């Protein structure tokens, strides 16, 4: 029996109602899996990290990670709603009492969806210090101008956590000073200075571009102190990396289970293909790589829940899990031969979906650069 088996069983029971054909259709139409997100919200699992005093279940990152891993292990996809778990942390840690009282209970109950997180911009790339979206103070308001790209789920969210510049890049001692975080009510912003354009992509991730043209928001939208936004965002990144790594482990375990099952059943040259070590060994290798990566994810979540530093572990977990699932996806495609390409087996869709983990929310190179510079103390590159 695995740890948190009760949570795994409950998630597996929900996922039974959302089989491959459900996800296939959503993927084909690039449609949002509203029914799945509603089911997860109603079960309370999406609010697991919100403290009980605000209507959540006050669980740790370990339980949140188990939830998302199991969603993916069952062949479903948490991408439509996982941000609710970690974006909320910025409000929880840095929001005022009034903001927490106003938003967290409604997020916990599902009345408000906080799914959109606007950091990436077309011209800045990974160099967040160069974002160009600005927030200028004007009396009791801020006025927002600029553009975000790859803002997932913007069309399906009521609130957006937005990173914008409140003072120029060269005004403070460090380039990342002068960034601020805002919690924007997208319902009133839409059509009043904010517009959203869907971005058709390789995966069904509700990706969008969001444009701000003189959007006026009240000063009360600011989270924490002006100019400290990057630090607030950074604070949430370990949680995000651990949760994303867990999804990757779930995908890898799904690929391994699918490949194992198929290798036992599929007969070519009068024997199961899994009898050939050319098929068996890649599955075994994938299994070993995935279990090793899962141990790093566990180490990261244990440190996180104990309140200990976990930056190195969270980054290594994300790196190892995303590489393990990518290798497992390729192994699974190869095991299925031509049928791996057929939509009805779900392998090609999962293969596309799992590729995302090597790029977002942080790409492999940036994690390697973190390990090189911050753990191994190699010379700083940028
Ligand atoms: C489907 C999807 C959903 C997303 N959802 C969101 C979201 O909800 N909110 C959000 O804010 N963002 C989101 N993103 C954006 C995502 O976080 C970025 O795409 C990712 O962090 C990489 O940044 P970039 O695309 O700007 O790449 P770039 O910064 O342009 O980099 C391109 C490549 O060069 C590499 N590179 C850059 N600089 C260096 C260097 N110094 N050394 C070595 N290599 C380097 C990068 O690692 C990358 O491989 C999403 C992206 C995708 C594809």
Reported as a single tens digit per residue, the pLDDT across 272-309 is: 999 999 999 999 999 999 999 999 999 999 999 999 99
Tell me, yes or no, if the two domains 5-109 and 114-227 fold the same way.
Answer: no
Protein residue with its CA nearest to atom 49 in ligand 1: 363
* Percent share of the chain, pLDDT over 90: 98
Atom of ligand 1 nearest to the CA of 203: 1
Mean pLDDT of 112-119: 96
Output the pLDDT for position 370: 97
- Is the separation of the CB atoms in 107 and 44 below 8 Å? no
**Domain range summary for the chain, segments of one domain joined by +:** 5-109, 114-227, 231-375
Q: How many residues does the chain have?
A: 382
Q: What are phi and psi of 197, to 5 degrees?
A: -125, 120
pLDDT per residue over 84-103, tens digit each?
899 999 999 999 999 999 99
pLDDT given for residue 44 in this prediction: 95
> Going by CA atoms, what residue is nearest to atom 18 of ligand 1?
360
Superfamily of domain 231-375: Butyryl-CoA Dehydrogenase, subunit A, domain 3 (1.20.140.10)
Atom of ligand 1 nearest to the CA of 125: 26
Gap from CA of 51 to ligand 1 centroid (Å): 31
Q: For residue 81, is pLDDT > 80? A: yes
Ligand 1, residues 129, 354, 365: which to mutate, most atoms within 8 A of Cβ? Answer: 365
Q: Is 177 helix (H, G, I), strand (E, B) or coil?
A: coil
Which residues is 114 bridged to in the sheet?
159
Using most ligand atoms within 8 A of CB, pick from 147, 155, 363, 380 the residue to mutate for ligand 1: 363
Percent of the chain predicted with pLDDT > 70: 100
Strand partners, 190: 194
Average pLDDT, the chain: 97
Atom 37 of ligand 1, nearest CA residue? 126
The SS3 assignment for 34 reads helix
pLDDT of residue 235: 86
Tens of pLDDT, residues 195-254: 999 999 999 999 999 999 999 999 999 999 999 999 999 889 999 999 999 999 999 999
Q: Which atom of ligand 1 is nearest to the CA of 362?
A: 21
Is the separation of the CB atoms in 37 and 277 below 8 Å?
no
Ligand 1 pocket by C-beta < 6 Å: which residues? 117-120, 125-126, 150-152, 201, 203, 205, 207, 356, 359-363, 365-366, 369, 381-382
Query: Is the confidence at residue 2, as pLDDT, over 80?
Result: no
Q: How far is the CA of 165 from the centre of ligand 1 (A)?
A: 19
The CATH fold assigned to 5-109 is Butyryl-Coa Dehydrogenase, subunit A; domain 1 (1.10.540)
Question: Is the pTM for the entire model greater than 0.85?
Answer: yes
Residue 352 makes CB contacts below 8 A (sequence gap 6+) with: 202, 203
Q: Which residues contact 326 (CB under 8 A, 6 or more apart)?
A: 354, 355, 357, 358
Say how many Å lie between the CA of residue 362 and the centre of ligand 1: 6
Q: In this predicted structure, which of 29-33, 170-174, 276-280 has the lowest mean pLDDT?
A: 170-174
Q: What is the pLDDT of residue 3?
A: 82
Q: How far apart are CA 278 and CA 258, in angstroms?
A: 17
| Nearest ligand 1 atom, CA 124 | 26
Question: What class has domain 114-227?
Answer: mainly beta
Q: How many CA atoms lie within 13 A of 64 on its CB side?
A: 32
- Residues 89, 257: Cα–Cα separation, whole Å: 33
Lowest-confidence pick of 61-65, 80-84, 101-105, 251-255: 80-84
> Which residues have CB under 8 Å from 131's CB, separation 6+?
119, 121, 124, 146, 163, 164, 165, 179
The CA 127 to ligand 1 mean position distance, Å, reads 9
Q: Determine which residue's CA is closest to atom 13 belonging to ligand 1.
A: 150
Rounded to 5°, angle at Cα 237 from 244 and 251: 5
pLDDT tens by residue, 124-166 = 999 999 999 999 999 999 999 999 999 999 999 999 999 999 9
Atom of ligand 1 nearest to the CA of 363: 47
364 CA: nearest ligand 1 atom:
47
Compute the distance from residue 116 Cα to the ligand 1 centre, in Å.
Answer: 16
Confidence of residue 1 (pLDDT cuts 50, 70, 90): low
Atom of ligand 1 nearest to the CA of 201: 1
Q: How many CB atoms within 10 Å of residue 193? A: 17
Nearest to 64 by CA among 75, 76, 55, 56: 56
- What mean pLDDT do residues 156-181 have? 96
Closest alpha carbon to 345 in 73, 20, 33, 76: 20
């Amino acid at each position: 029996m695995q740890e948190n088996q009760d949570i795994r069983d409950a998630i597996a029971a929900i996922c039974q109602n959302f089989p491959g054909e459900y996800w296939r259709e959503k993927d084909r139409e690039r449609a949002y899996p509203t029914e799945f997100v509603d089911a997860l919200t109603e079960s309370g699992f999406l609010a697991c990290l919100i403290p009980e005093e605000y209507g959540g279940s006050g669980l740790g990152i370990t339980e949140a990670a188990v939830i998302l891993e199991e969603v993916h292990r069952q062949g479903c996809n948490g991408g439509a709603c996982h941000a609710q778990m970690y974006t909320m942390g910025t409000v929880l840690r840095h929001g005022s009492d009034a903001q927490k009282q106003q938003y967290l209970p409604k997020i916990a109950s599902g009345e408000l969806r906080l799914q959109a997180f606007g950091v990436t911009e077309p011209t800045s790339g990974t160099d967040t210090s160069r974002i160009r979206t600005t927030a200028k103070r004007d009396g009791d308001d801020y006025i927002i101008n600029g553009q975000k790209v790859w803002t997932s789920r913007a069309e399906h969210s009521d609130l957006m956590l937005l990173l914008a510049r409140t003072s120029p890049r060269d005004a403070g001692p460090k380039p990342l000073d002068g960034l601020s975080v805002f919690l924007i009510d997208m319902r009133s912003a839409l059509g009043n200075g904010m517009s959203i354009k869907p971005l058709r992509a390789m995966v069904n991730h509700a990706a969008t571009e969001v444009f701000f043209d003189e959007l006026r928001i009240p000063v009360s939208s600011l989270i924490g102190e002006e100019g400290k936004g990057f630090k607030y965002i950074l604070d949430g990144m370990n949680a995000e990396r651990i949760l994303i790594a867990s999804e990757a482990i779930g995908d890898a375990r799904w690929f391994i289970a699918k490949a194992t099952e198929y290798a036992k059943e599929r007969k070519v040259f009068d024997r199961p293909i899994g009898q050939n070590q050319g098929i068996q060994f890649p599955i075994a290798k994938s299994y070993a790589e995935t279990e090793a990566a899962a141990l790093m994810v566990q180490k990261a979540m244990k440190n996180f829940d104990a309140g200990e530093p976990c930056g190195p572990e969270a980054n290594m977990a994300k790196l190892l899990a995303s590489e393990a699932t990518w290798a497992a996806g390729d192994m699974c495609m190869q095991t299925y031969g031509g049928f791996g390409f057929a939509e009805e087996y779900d392998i090609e869709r999962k293969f596309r979906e799992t590729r995302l983990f090597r790029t977002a929310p942080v790409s492999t190179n940036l994690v390697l650069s973190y390990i090189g510079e911050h753990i191994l103390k190699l010379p700083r590159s940028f």
